[in-house]
Structure formats: C-alpha cells, structure tokens
Amino acid sequence: MVPLSQALISVLQWRGALWALCSLILVIVIAAFGLPGRQRENSGSVLPSSEGTLTLGCALRMASRHRHYWLLNGGFFVCGFHVAFVGTHLPAFLVDQGLDAHIGAWSLALIGLFNILGSYLFGVWGGRHSRPWLLSFLYASRGIAMVIFLALPLSPLTALAFAATFGFLWLGTVPLTSGAVASMFGMSQLSTLYGIVFLSHQLGAFLGAWWAGRLFDQTGSYQLIWLISIGLAVIASVLSALTRDHSAMPSRQVLCGSSA
C-alpha cells in the first residue's frame, strides 16, 4: 500500500491520492457485509477456575506492586518511541539526505513486509526461550542497526537494507510482551493489564513522532533524535534483561485478600 500511495501522490497529488484511498476503504466496508456474523462461543472453552477468580481490582493491585511489570512497561515505551519515529520520519530523513521519495515509500513497505516474518518468529521463539532475554536482544539489535545505518554511506541499498532489518525487529515485541504479561498474571485480566502496557507504548509513540519533528525544526537535522533513539535502545535492552516474567500468582492471596 505504501508504494501505491506514493504513486498516487505523484500522479494525483495529495488530495486526489486521499480520495483514491478513501475509495479503497469504501470497498472494504462493503465487502465486510459479506463476512459471517459472530459465532457462538464454544461452551467448552473456558478459563481455569483458578484464573477466573482473579478480579480486576486484584489484578491491578498486583500489577501496581510488581517491579517486573513496570520494567516491561518501560521497555515497551521505548518500542513505541522507535516505531513512531522511524515510521513517521524515515521517509523525510531519506529525502533530506538527497534520496528520492520513492525510496522512502519502499522502505516503509519493506518494514511492513519483514514485520510479518519478525512478529511470527519472535512469537515462536518466545514460546521456547526466555521472553525478557529475547526482548533485550531485540532492543539491542535495534540500536546496533541504527548505529550501522548512520555509520555507512547513505544509498538506496543501505536505506532498504536498514528498513528490512528494522522491519524484522519492528513488532516482534508484541507477542513477547503480551506473553510476558500473561505469564506473570494469567489470562483472566490479560486484556486490561496488557492494555496498560500498550498505553505506555502509545505514549512513547507520541513522544517519538512529536519530538523528532520538534528537534528537526529546532536543529535542521535528525542527527540528535537518532542518537537519542540509540540511547533508548540501550536502556530498553537493560530494562528487559532485568525483567523476570515468572508468575506472580503465588502472591495473590497476600495482595488481594478476600478478593481471591
């Protein structure tokens, strides 16, 4: 979709391209009416009774006192910072450095393509190995990728190679982070507890997209925000290495009292 959008902008300008994309969205809405309705839930698919007794208030109290849960939040904040900064500003950075706009479009397309592979593989690996250590490796790899990208002479090849590499590391954090939350607190309140972690991700995303633009306006360069992103990758890697996703359920009786 990104190369198509870039082609539409080149031919139709911004307004025409937006109308064309709106037309595609309308097709999706119409096609959605052909989808089957909600299926009845399988009555045999229920949570274990031990998890079903974990109330929302109890889960929130447990999470608020769980150091490793907050370490996980810190790492995911950096994840949001990275993806929003790169996703929003990489095309502008490449154009600012003299590359053609279509290289930026193809870079975003490669990020999306390799994200599919990375998210799947990190999810599989997370079922076999330590999720915190995989997160630590992933964040460190992002920092290394950015260092190499900035150190090499910029060309279409290095831009696309960076995009593919960063795409592979893009959202592999999601299955690892959600799996870590589930491992800590069980499944019964996963949607809320992971939602809080995801809020941290989105706050980081806001800061990454906004601050990069702000610093560029002030300095005329993306150099500083790249360095900040590398530093944050180091911090996130350390936070993840310190995280333990062992179950917090044994302490539930102490923290939740009669709510358990």
Compute the half-sphere exposure of residue 113: CA atoms within 13 Å on the CB side of its CA. 15
**Closest to 3 in 3D by CA, of 102, 70, 97:** 102
Cα–Cα distance for residue pair 134/124, rounded to 1 Å: 11
Mean pLDDT of 69-74: 95
Model confidence at 149, in pLDDT bands (50, 70, 90)?
A: very high
H-helix or E-strand containing 219? helix 190-219
Share of the chain above pLDDT 90, in %: 63
- Written as six digits, the tokens of 2 are 């990104």
Mean pLDDT of 112-128: 95
**When comparing pLDDT for 78 and 183, which is higher?**
78
Fold designation for 55-246: Growth Hormone; Chain: A; (1.20.1250)
**Do residues 241 and 132 touch, judged by C-beta distance below 8 A?**
yes
H-helix or E-strand containing 226? helix 223-242
Whether 46 shows a pLDDT value over 50: the answer reads no
Q: Could you state, in order of their start, the residue ranges of all structural domains in the chain?
A: 55-246
Model confidence at 210, in pLDDT bands (50, 70, 90)?
A: very high
pLDDT of 29 reads: 85
pTM of the model: 0.81
**Do residues 213 and 93 touch, judged by C-beta distance below 8 A?**
no
